[in-house]
Amino acid sequence: MVRQPAEHKVYAHARLRRLRREHGMNQVDMARALGISTSYANQIEQSQRPLTAPVLLRIAEVFGVDAEFFSEAGEDRLATDLRTALADEACGVALPTAEEISEAARDHPEVARALVALHRRYRDAAEQAAALAAPGTGGGNLLPGEPHDQVRDFFYAHHNHFEPLDTEAEQLAAALELRPGRAVDRLTARLAGQHGVHVVQAASGRSADARRYDPDAGLLFLSPWLNDGQRAFQLATQLALLEHGPLLGRLADSAGELTSPESSALARIGLANYFAGALLMPYTAFHTTAEEVRYDIELLSARFGVGFETVCHRLSALQRSGSRGVPFSFLRVDRAGNISKRQSATDFHFSRLGGTCPLWTVYEAFSSPGRILTQVAEMPDGKRYFWIARTITRGGFGHHAPRAEFAVALGCELRHAHRLVYTEGIALDDPRAATPIGLGCRICERRDCAQRARPPAGGRLAIDPDRRTYVPYAVETHAP
C-alpha cells in the first residue's frame, strides 16, 4: 500500500481573487456569497489563512468551478517553467532559490507567466537571429515561435482534454453504432453518404502519407500499409475535419498560444486526431473498461482495435469532470532524445532546455525492443512518479522499406500507481525502489549524479587534478 502524503494547507489567494474579479464582486459580496466573514475573506486573499474543505466546496458551488481548480499542479508547472527561463545562461541573471520561485508562481502568477513568455520569445528571436547571421542565409524578418512548439504548449495548457470533442465523438459513435475493431465499414459509409467522399487505396511506394484528401475529386487516399485500426483512425480524422471543422477552429482560435496561421492549422489537425481517438474509444466505455482491466494497455488495444501508442495517447486524456481516469503524462521520443509528442494531465513538466534525463526509463526501452519496462522515478523536489515505457516501430513493409523507431512512455504520480496492473509485485513505498531523475542537466539540482553532462545553472564542474577528469557534481572542491 502506498503511503499517502500528509495533507497540506491550500493557499489559493491569487486564484480566488481572480475568480472574484471575474464575477464582478468585491470582498464583501464574496464573503456574503460564501457564508464567511469579510475579515476571513480578506485574510484568505492576503495569504494569511488557508482554504478549508467546506469553503473550497462552497467556492466550487458559488463560482461554478471544479475543485481541481485549486490544485497546485498549475503552480508547479508554472514554477518549473519559470525556473527553466531564469536558469538560461544566456539571460545572465542569478538564479533565485526554489522557494522564491515557487512563491512567485503562487503569489504573482500573471507576472511569472509574462516572464516565461518573454523568455520564450527571446529564445525564438535569438535562434532565428543566429540562423540569419549564418553565411549565405540572406536575411529576412524574424518569425514567431515554431508552430510545433506552440501546438504542444496549447495541448499542455489544456491538460490534453477537450470536453466538447469528447461529447461530440461519443454521440457520433452511438449514432453510427460503432463496434470496437469493426469501425472501418461504418466510417467509410458515413464519408460516402454524408460527404460524397470515396475511400481508395493509394498506390504503394508513391507517398509516405497515411492519408491524403483530394476535395476536388472527392477522394480520400489511404496508405496500403495501414492495418484496420490505423485505417479507422485516419477515416475518423477526416470525418472530424469535414463534420466538425467550425468546432475545431473555435477551439484552436481561442488559444492565445497560437500566434501564426501555421500553428493554428496544425492545432486543428491535432484536435481532429483527438476527435478520432475519442470516436474509436468513446469516453464512458473506454474509461469503464480501463478501470476494469487496471489500465492494461495491451488488453485495451485488443478490445478497441487500435495500437499501443493510440491507447496511451487516449489514456492521457481521461479528465472529464466527475469521471476522471488516472491523470497520466504521455510522451514519444526517438533515440536522440527528441520529443515528438508530449501530453500531460498532471503536473509533470517536460524540459525545454538541455534535453531530458538519460536515467529515465523511456530511453532504456530502446535496449529492450517490444518489452514493457517500469520505473519508479523521483524528481529533485521529492515527487515520485510511476512510468511504463515500450518501443514502437513505424514504417512500411519489405526489406528496403524505411522504418522509424520510437519509445512511448506513460506516467502518473505515485499515489495513483496502485490502480495500474503494472505495479503488481513492486514495492512502491520503498524509497530504495525509486530512481532519482531530473528535468535535464541544465536545471536539475542533483549534484551527485554520475550521468551529469553539464553543470546546473549557476554552478561549475570542478576539475580533479589527480584523475584529470571533471568532478560529476557542480560544487567546486578545494581538496589538498
Three-class DSSP labels, 248-284: HHHHHHCCCCCCCHHHHHHHHHHHHHHHHHHHHCCHH
pLDDT at residue 188, rounded to an integer: 96
pLDDT at residue 398, rounded to an integer: 74
Residue 136 resides in a domain: yes
Together in a domain, 165 and 269: yes
CA pair distance 351, 349, nearest whole angstrom: 6
pLDDT at residue 139, rounded to an integer: 45
Together in a domain, 170 and 231: yes
pLDDT at residue 129, rounded to an integer: 61
CA pair distance 173, 182, nearest whole angstrom: 12
How sure is the predictor about 66, in pLDDT bands with cuts at 50, 70 and 90?
low
Together in a domain, 162 and 120: no
Together in a domain, 56 and 164: no
pLDDT at residue 180, rounded to an integer: 82
Together in a domain, 130 and 63: no
For cell 493509394, what's the residue?
202
Residue 340 resides in a domain: no
What residues make up the domain containing 107? 73-143
For cell 502524503, what's the residue?
5
Together in a domain, 17 and 104: no
Together in a domain, 150 and 279: yes
Q: For residue 125, give Cα distances in angstroms to 143, 144, 466.
A: 8, 8, 43
Residue 378 resides in a domain: no
Tell me: the pLDDT tens digits for 288-306?
A: 999 999 999 999 999 999 9
pLDDT at residue 462, rounded to an integer: 47
- Number of structural domains in the chain: 4
Question: 11 vs 324, which has greater pLDDT?
Answer: 324
Residue 351 resides in a domain: no
For cell 508552430, what's the residue?
147
Please identify, among 70, 86, 108, the residue that sits at the C-terminal boundary of a domain. 70
Handedness of CA 248, 254, 260, 266 (dihedral sign): negative
Q: Which of 72-86, 158-172, 185-199, 209-223 has the lowest mean pLDDT?
A: 72-86
In angstroms, the first-to-last Cα distance of the chain is: 49
CA pair distance 455, 360, nearest whole angstrom: 19
Residue 27 resides in a domain: yes
How sure is the predictor about 434, in pLDDT bands with cuts at 50, 70 and 90?
very high
- Is residue 316 scored above 90 in pLDDT? yes
Together in a domain, 32 and 86: no
How sure is the predictor about 278, in pLDDT bands with cuts at 50, 70 and 90?
very high
pLDDT at residue 275, rounded to an integer: 97
The most confident of the ranges 30-34, 179-183, 229-233 is: 229-233
Residue 158 half-sphere exposure, CB side, CA atoms within 13 Å?
A: 24
- Is residue 71 scored above 90 in pLDDT? no
- Is residue 467 scored above 50 in pLDDT? no
How sure is the predictor about 256, in pLDDT bands with cuts at 50, 70 and 90?
low
Please identify, among 262, 283, 304, the residue that sits at the C-terminal boundary of a domain. 283
Together in a domain, 184 and 130: no
Q: Find the mean pLDDT for residues 117-131.
A: 68
Residue 90 resides in a domain: yes
Q: Find the mean pLDDT for residues 166-180.
A: 94
CA pair distance 380, 69, nearest whole angstrom: 25
Residue 155 resides in a domain: yes
Residue 95 DSSP label: P
How sure is the predictor about 218, in pLDDT bands with cuts at 50, 70 and 90?
very high
CATH classification at residue 36 = 1.10.260.40
- Is residue 356 scored above 90 in pLDDT? no
Q: What's this model's pTM, rounded to 2 decimal places?
A: 0.73
How sure is the predictor about 318, in pLDDT bands with cuts at 50, 70 and 90?
very high
Q: Find the mean pLDDT for residues 172-183.
A: 91
Q: What mean pLDDT value characterizes the chain?
A: 81
The most confident of the ranges 129-133, 209-213, 400-404 is: 209-213
Together in a domain, 44 and 156: no
Q: For residue 201, give Cα distances in angstroms to 210, 215, 398.
A: 10, 16, 18
Please identify, among 254, 283, 312, the residue that sits at the C-terminal boundary of a domain. 283
- Is residue 135 scored above 60 in pLDDT? no
Q: Find the mean pLDDT for residues 188-215.
A: 86
Together in a domain, 86 and 153: no
Residue 124 resides in a domain: yes
pLDDT at residue 195, rounded to an integer: 95
Together in a domain, 55 and 101: no
